Structure 1
Amino acid sequence: MPVAPGPTLETARLILRPTATEDIDGWAAMMADAEAARYIGGQQPRSSAWRGMASMAGSWTLLGFGMFSVLDKTSGQWLGRIGPWQPEDWPGTEVGWGLAPAAWGKGYAVEAAIATIDWVFDHLGWDEVIHCIDPTNTPSQKVAQSIGSYNRGRGQLPAPYQDHVIDIWGQTRDEWRARRA
């Protein structure tokens, strides 16, 4: 099974690893679900989901980081993607998340975001993390609050997403480390 180059992280319940070809079924199902895809690019056919997944694998290859595929440690089930993301003209060094509906409400987003933010500060040397969140996306706002991020105000995404309204949530490395101490 081809896997993009990068580290594997583990939490109590999860395995976080770079994108692999075997992730397409879960990735495509998540992006085909209108509610799951609502805030992460919108509902897409499998062919578009594959291009998005390949883009994430490419980010690992070109930049040395990208969102991790999140797997249930016990079953191996693909649960979603969470991690660092910064395409060209992005408003900052983001740690974002998107989970399949079956994984909602179980604390996986918080668990994976904590492991990922520790990793980006320790290994990528980022000074801050942001999260681009639609003002109506209450579940993502709650995840951001749970990990200590706060709303910094409106932000702007690059084309073709420039018309999407987002708030920039985030925190600095120093704020993160003070809370984790």
Structure 2
Amino acid sequence: MNATSPISQAPLTNAPRLETERLILRGPEMADVEAFIAFSADEARSIGFGYIPQRDEAWRWFVMNIGHWHIHGYGYMTIEDKITGKPAGICGIWNPEGWPEPELGWVVYEGFEGKGIAYEAALAARAWAYSDLGMTTMTSNIVPSNLRSIALATRLGARFEREYDNVQMGLDHLYRHPDAEALL
């Protein structure tokens, strides 16, 4: 944000508000952009998601997610920590041009790892996609070196299905989540 732009805390999408024991998953707000930009510029942390060292490019990705919501009716939600009120990451359903099918994705920001936040958020987002969006299956697309995300996908019940060439990330592994009926 530049110094003359007010930071909006108004919802920018039609995203639902999902609450878990410790988290709120909600639509992105402009007040969330700084946390996303900081994550994107940290090469070691963002490499499995897409390292974006240029501030303006990270800002563009953030607003692209808002457009994704308007086109698909779903996208990445901000994970808000109930105790601090701070953005703890993003989680949701992602399916841009070139993706094999809708993907359940997650990112946890610095200071929030190792607390089960991604797991809790991913369970809520997947349940919402199955119950409210009527999706019957989904994937998580993970770069092979992202061992933490592979472990989380496995913990969520997803199983390695195949390798493919991701238009944005290169070699990617597609993990298939249990279908909606299997989770009932």
> Quick check: TM above 0.5?
yes
What is the aligned counterpart of 1:170 among 176, 179, 182? 176
Matches within 5 A, 1:126-165: 126-158=135-167, 161=168, 164-165=170-171
8 A Cα contact 1:16 1:71, kept in partner: yes
What is the aligned counterpart of 1:2 among 1, 10, 35? 10
Moved >4 Å (runs of 4+): none
Structure 1 length normalisation: TM-score?
Answer: 0.91
- Aligned mates of 1:155, 1:128 — CA distance in 2: 18
What is the aligned counterpart of 2:131 among 122, 142, 157? 122
Per-residue CA shift, 1:71-122, capped at 9, x if unaligned? 1011111111111000112111101111112111111010000000000011
8 A Cα contact 2:156 2:177, kept in partner: no
8 A Cα contact 1:20 1:57, kept in partner: no
The RMSD of aligned alpha carbons is 1.4
- Aligned pairs, how many? 175
- Aligned mates of 1:152, 1:36 — CA distance in 2: 25
The alpha carbon displacement at 1:2 in A equals: 2.9
Per-residue CA shift, 1:23-72, capped at 9, x if unaligned? 01101111111112111111322211111110111111221110111010
Map of 1:74 onto structure 2: 83
- Aligned mates of 1:88, 1:43 — CA distance in 2: 19
Map of 2:25 onto structure 1: 16
Structure 2 length normalisation: TM-score?
Answer: 0.90
Matches within 5 A, 1:8-47: 8-47=17-56
- Aligned mates of 2:37, 2:98 — CA distance in 1: 26
Map of 1:89 onto structure 2: 98
Per-residue CA shift, 1:10-31, capped at 9, x if unaligned? 1100000011111011011111
